[in-house]
Amino acid sequence: MTVPLIQINNRCFHYVSRIMSWARAKRNCLSMGANLASVHDTNEYRQVQSLITKATYKSGRTWIGGTNAQETSIWFWSDRSPLHYTNWCPGKPRNAHGTQRCLQMNYSDKKCWDDYICSVRLPSVCANKVR
């Protein structure tokens, strides 16, 4: 099977349809020489959404590399790039019950970001630098 991918700003984004927890998705990306995707502007976000839609014919919830596992109020990308751009849904992140520490995209009809329970199994998007 061909892995759905797209090149954006010198990075190659791969859609992974296999549903996994955020940690397993991160480990899966690392095994491919990539990281869970970081998204740095609206254009990148829309292109990643387009990748998901082309692969699945819908725009379902998907893991990307944001996490606040180290400290509740500080979000960062698992690839260590700075997290400046955000697309949080209204009222998010809220870390309900102290258990929502991972970032899912395409949440709700607004298709924005939501903090979510990391053990939930979702598809994911990996990204690596083009060599």
Greater confidence (69 vs 11) lies with 11
pLDDT band for position 3 (cuts 50, 70, 90): low
Rounded to an integer, the average pLDDT of 3-22 is 91
**What pLDDT, in 10s, does the model give residues 97-106?**
677 899 999 9
Q: What's the CA gap between 106 and 93, in Å, rounded?
A: 14
Can you give the pLDDT at residue 48?
96
CATH 3.10.100.10 describes domain 5-129: yes
Q: Give, for 56, the enclosing helix (H) or strand (E).
A: helix 42-56
Q: pLDDT, tens digit, for every residue of 52-95? A: 999 999 999 999 999 997 777 789 999 999 899 999 999 999 87
User: Within a 13 Å sphere around the CA of 80, how many CA atoms are in the beta-carbon half?
Assistant: 1
